[in-house]
Amino acid sequence: MAWFPNNMGGVKKKSLASMEKTQDSQDTAQDSAAPSKGKKAKEAKAAPQQKKQLSFLAPQMGVEQMVKTLTPLKAITVHGASRALGVNASVATGVLRDLEAKKLLRKAGGFSGHGVWAVA
């Protein structure tokens, strides 16, 4: 005869403290719902939340100035470009890819998303 635990993978009994917390939260939810019945339905409904668009600003310099700023670097990496241009790493990645597309930089090496560029 094999031994089996009492509740075989089912829902476990909550502790007293957690049962009190859920009861308190249900009581407060009922209390807050009671006064809203008198208000209009439009006020009770919240507007659907819009997705936040994070926009990062490119550096305030021309393409020639960016290349001039990056030229003294031995190996142009995302981290080095972000420090030289004074922007965060995601903006620096976009700038480096844009300059590579314009044939002003060429990819000299790197692996696993950590690219190394050189001035063309």
Domain span holding position 99: 75-119
Write out pLDDT tens, residues 44-99: 566 666 665 555 667 788 889 999 999 999 999 999 999 999 899 989 998 999 99
How many domains does one find in the chain? 1
5 within a domain of the structure (yes/no): no
9 within a domain of the structure (yes/no): no
100 within a domain of the structure (yes/no): yes
- Compute the distance between CA of residue 91 and CA of residue 87 in angstroms, rounded to an integer: 6
Strand partners, 114: 111
Residue 69 burial (10 A CB sphere; 0-12, 13-18, 19+): middle
27 within a domain of the structure (yes/no): no
Average pLDDT (12-38) is 79
Strand partners, 109: 116
Total residues found in the chain within this entry: 120
Residue 91 token pair: 């903006």
